[in-house]
Amino acid sequence: MAGTFVVGGAGVISAVVAYLFPPSEANSGLTRQAVKAGQAEDIPPGRGKLAAVDGEPVWVLNSPSGFVALSALCTHKGCVVKWDEKRRVFNCPCHEGLFDERGNVIAGLPRRPLVPFRVGVVHGELHVSRGEAGKV
């Protein structure tokens, strides 16, 4: 009974704190502000680089069809996927999930593709933000 009050009380307190001190726009996940992820020329064709967008790891990949940005969080249980240059797949070390370079599921337990992010090149610099894949 006391534990229920403590847990319920903590929920009320955190709701009040969130109301009084809303998270900054940059951390809320609601912003479409782009994060600079480095120079495009530093990622050769077939290579990828991890960037952080609103605290989330995102792979920026130089694919044959141009730059692609995908969440690095596996859609099965949230492990960070790794880019395998030789096999040209993202692999998840937790349960061997496999995704192609567009983030589509190839094999394993994941049922949903990797979440796409927007990516674009502005004056030679990569800009990545939340939203549908495409230009920033």
Chain residues in the site for ligand FES (CB under 6 A): 74, 76-77, 79, 92, 94-95, 97, 108-110
Give the DSSP H or E segment for 66.
strand 66-71
Closer to ligand FES by Cβ: residue 94 or 133: 94
Rounded to a whole number of angstroms, the minimum distance from the CB of residue 15 to ligand FES is 30
Rounded to a whole number of angstroms, the minimum distance from the CB of residue 65 to ligand FES is 25
Residue found under tokens 């995102």: 58
Closer to ligand FES by Cβ: residue 41 or 96: 96
Residue found under tokens 């996927």: 81
Closer to ligand FES by Cβ: residue 69 or 74: 74
Cβ pair 117, 63 in contact under 8 A: no
Closer to ligand FES by Cβ: residue 76 or 118: 76
Rounded to a whole number of angstroms, the minimum distance from the CB of residue 72 to ligand FES is 11
Nearest alpha-carbon partner for 86 in 44, 46, 114, 48: 46
What are the distances in angstroms from CA 59 to CA 1, 8, 98?
A: 46, 38, 15
